[in-house]
Structure 1
Amino acid sequence: MVYQNVLSAVVSALAAECKDSTSRQAWQKLIDLDVSKAGGAGTPDRDLIDCWVFARLHSELIPRHWHALAARYGTHKGRKVKAISSLAPLIASPAPQLFVYKAVTAWAIPPIKGVAGKRSSDMIVLPASFYDMNTWDLAANPESTRRRWRRGVYSVLDEMSIEAINAAEQILIAEGVLIGRAA
């Protein structure tokens, strides 16, 4: 039993490949090994478990569920961009393709509060102008239409994300890695 809930497992697993294991001191790694060898209360290496859960989710989830989780909760830039590109064509909408693509991107990469330049360079940060729906629709449809389209795209993506979390929960329960839940 490792994770408190499904979302913490998903976020931790998706961040696994972005973690820098060099930040720990050599003596910390030795202490961790000694505790686990001595049969102490130490847990197996959390990074290894995260990588294992990542692999299980990637192999067991259907592609749209995997992409929904990677787009919404992932931290790896390349994987996030690929997930956005994979999700956009799946969205049935009367909106133009450009609008749908930008709406999916805005859903996956919401605006971040804070002062520009004080954000982590490891995150994808879009310019504030990207979130202006006037740039999403070249035909200049009414604001109410664009809002309806965006609401529809977000609704489909939110539903897909909920389905993905539920599917991931079943996988994690079967694997016995959720605290208080066993297969």
Structure 2
Amino acid sequence: MIYQNVVSAVVRALAAETINSAGGCSVEPRVQAGKLKGEISGKDAALLADSIVHRLLHAQLSPRHWNALVAKYSTHKGRKVDSIGRLVAIVTTPAPKRFTQQAVLVWAVPQQTKGIQRKVPQFKAPEPRENEREGQWDWRNKAAAAAAERANKHARAVAEVKPGEMIVLAESNYDMTNWDSQGLTERTYQRWNRAIKGALEAMVNEALVEAQHMLEAIGVLFGEAA
């Protein structure tokens, strides 16, 4: 299997894990069984190569570089979410944690077109009942507010999941004013966001350079093979 470039190799290798997960088992035993019968070819051979590259990169790249590639390129929901969380923990930024979490998340899950974007229904608690005596309806008002919040939380969670295990975020996730409650200037938020994205892209570029060296060494990149 010869890859056109390092990005193509990384994308295919990460996609191989998603394909394996969808199939319910690892591709390698199935392909190896076919090889013993002289049947390995075509898609099976390509998928085996992708799986081997996946294993190589996972084993040889540093955790930060591996997580940067998974967060940016993987379509495996569980792996992507895990890597996003790990990147949040290592990004150096003056931004508060909530802002950093959202900045990394929307970097890893870019905004979709309006035709794909999901709207999240917003539930409002009923108007609070007025107390005729002190504390009479406080418990009921609090319960109604809590129920509305639970419904909104569930709606947001549902909006983040797309069939096929891909992540689709609600529009509100891309509004930086929702990432922090301090009410700072947009200029500050933009500066924080640019710095976080810059750090993440730098990690991806470093990871791709390392991956290219590994793949060139085993002769599976187009230029090297030629």
* Category of TM-score, reference length = shorter chain: 0.7 to 0.9
How many angstroms does 1:116 deviate by?
Answer: 4.5
Counterpart residue number, 2:222: 179
Give 1:180 deviation, angstroms.
Answer: 2.4
- Find the counterpart in structure 2 of residue 140 from structure 1: 183
Residues 59 and 42 of structure 1: CA distance in aligned 2, closer, same or farther (over 3 Å): same
Paired position in structure 2 for 1:92: 92
Residues of 1 paired with 2:10 and 2:42: CA distance? 22
Separation in 1, partners of 2:87, 2:67: 7
Alignment of 1:163-178 (within 5 A): 163-178=206-221
Instruction: Give, in whole Å, the separation in 1 of the partners of 2:107 and 2:116.
Output: 21
> What corresponds to 2:105 in structure 1?
105
Paired with 2:205 and 2:219, the residues of 1 have a C-alpha distance of 21
Shift of 1:18: 1.4
Equivalent-residue separation in structure 1 for 2:83 and 2:98 (angstroms): 16
Segments of structure 2 that go 5 or more residues without pairing to the other structure are 25-30, 119-160
Aligned residue type for 1:115: I
Identity of aligned pairs, percent? 44
1:65: which partner in 2?
Answer: 65
Q: CA deviation at 1:105?
A: 0.5
State the shift of 1:112 in Å: 1.3
- Separation (CA, whole Å) in 1 of partners of 2:183 and 2:172: 16
| 1:115 Cα offset (Å) | 3.3
> What is the rounded CA distance, in whole Å, between the counterparts of 1:70 and 1:76 in structure 2?
9
Query: Following the alignment from structure 1 to structure 2, what is the Cα–Cα distance between the partners of residues 43 and 70?
Result: 23
Inter-partner Cα distance in structure 2 for 1:44 and 1:179: 20
In 2: Cα distance, 1:116 partner to 1:100 partner: 22
Q: Which has the higher contact order (CA 8 A, sep 6+)?
A: 1
Match of 1:181, SS? Answer: helix
Segments of 4+ in structure 1 off by > 3 A? 41-44
Q: Deviations over 1:76-121 (max 9, x none)?
A: 000000100000111111111110111000100011113357x961
- TM-score, normalised to structure 2, is 0.69
TM-score, with structure 1 as normaliser: 0.84
Give the secondary structure class of the aligned counterpart of 1:180.
helix
Deviates more, 1:172-181 or 1:45-54: 172-181
Count, aligned residues: 170
1:17 CA displacement: 1.7
Q: CA deviation at 1:21?
A: 5.7
Residues of 1 paired with 2:70 and 2:116: CA distance?
26
Max radius of gyration: which structure? 2
Amino acid across the alignment from 2:8: S
Residue of 138, 153, 174 corresponding to 1:131:
174
In the TM superposition, residue 174 of structure 1 has moved relative to its aligned partner by 1.1
* Cα pair distance change 1:37/1:43, threshold 3 Å: farther
Give distance in 2, aligned partners of 1:15 and 1:21.
12
Give the superposition deviation at 1:138. Answer: 1.1
RMSD of the TM alignment (CA)?
2.6
In structure 2, relative to structure 1, the CA distance for the partners of 1:103 and 1:178 (3 Å cut) is same
